Structure 1
């Protein structure tokens, strides 16, 4: 854990005071990102930004001051989350516990000196495929007729006895079962472009030439749609506009098949 100091970082201001009888205020939660996540996704992370004031012991005879190691814990409703990073200057990263149901959940932050605060409805868990709240005008326009393959009757996708499907046959539901991101390695910078590559998986993955809706676990990603893909491989240059912290990218096709990238770190722009 880091030792607290006289510092200003992001949204958190650390004000230090003598511990001789001064009652310090409770911390306040500034933000929780992402605010919406799929329910029961393994190892999802949230970033909590908070403001807090701490005490410092002063030895006037020795003309010295000493701070103390500060720690904090986080709960979602009554279930404690695993804190993977705690910075007393105002940032906590925690793993969302599994087993929470769909809906809004309160987040409770408690410092090790007993002070705590609660943010009601801080995190909303939604069924898979609804990873972020709908925003007017943000539809990426993924249409089955144009992105998942034509649904006009041109014959079926092939049967075991007829030689299988041709590349030009329409992609039907079940032909693509998932997508796999190539690892996004290292830290990326908010609003700066970087490359991603996504591979279709399933019985007809090499035939997939559609487009995919692209979203992010928090903030906003551009473009909102990538493709058309080529031989089941979708390569694109994208950027994410969000505050510093961890983030994931999500792709969804016209049949609702959705997959998520690895968790990567987004740093603030210079």
Structure 2
């Protein structure tokens, strides 16, 4: 009977026999993060985190029963931004929706169980800007150069320029990202300070739209900055959050984003 009860814990969960509670239990460990590469601000992108955790069990030798104290919930962060958990299985699987606003590059994944135990894996997820999800094809690259040269020559004979004009609408792929100028030093909660964001991409200098603005903690106002001028957005903003590190995020209408550096926020006087 006792062996049958223990078998219910499953192969993926390692039981830790004790009188109860999580005191003395080892920290969990992250086994894998899937997928390990996504596009920046991909809509409704999901991440599967597989982990190994030991749980407390209570054994009643008189009744020959075993009671496993499994976790019912868990939380996951990507860097300092918390993700939305859509599924949690204490046997070692948690599925989350990747938060939008994270910049391109490598990001850590941190798991916290209901009892406070944590595991973290550095550089577990890499976010790539749109257009960099496929490897460059050398033949395609040569073809692109030839086409651009031929088209340019033909238009030169005709006396016209084939390139886009500043007044042409910005299309998907024209802007590949947004770069914050460094936010240096500590800022004060509920007090305004200036931020400057630069568009990046083949038509960065033509970008004159507005951007959604969010923060990793608390709230930031205004919620939109812009319109930008020549691909540059400068705005006075106010962050209302508790003391600690904060990052800001921007997002355009096509889901292309950018992330500021982490800066410290001091409490308001």
TM superposition score category, shorter chain reference: 0.3 to 0.5
Query: Between Structure 1 and Structure 2, whose CA radius of gyration is higher?
Result: 2
**TM-score by structure 1 length?**
0.47
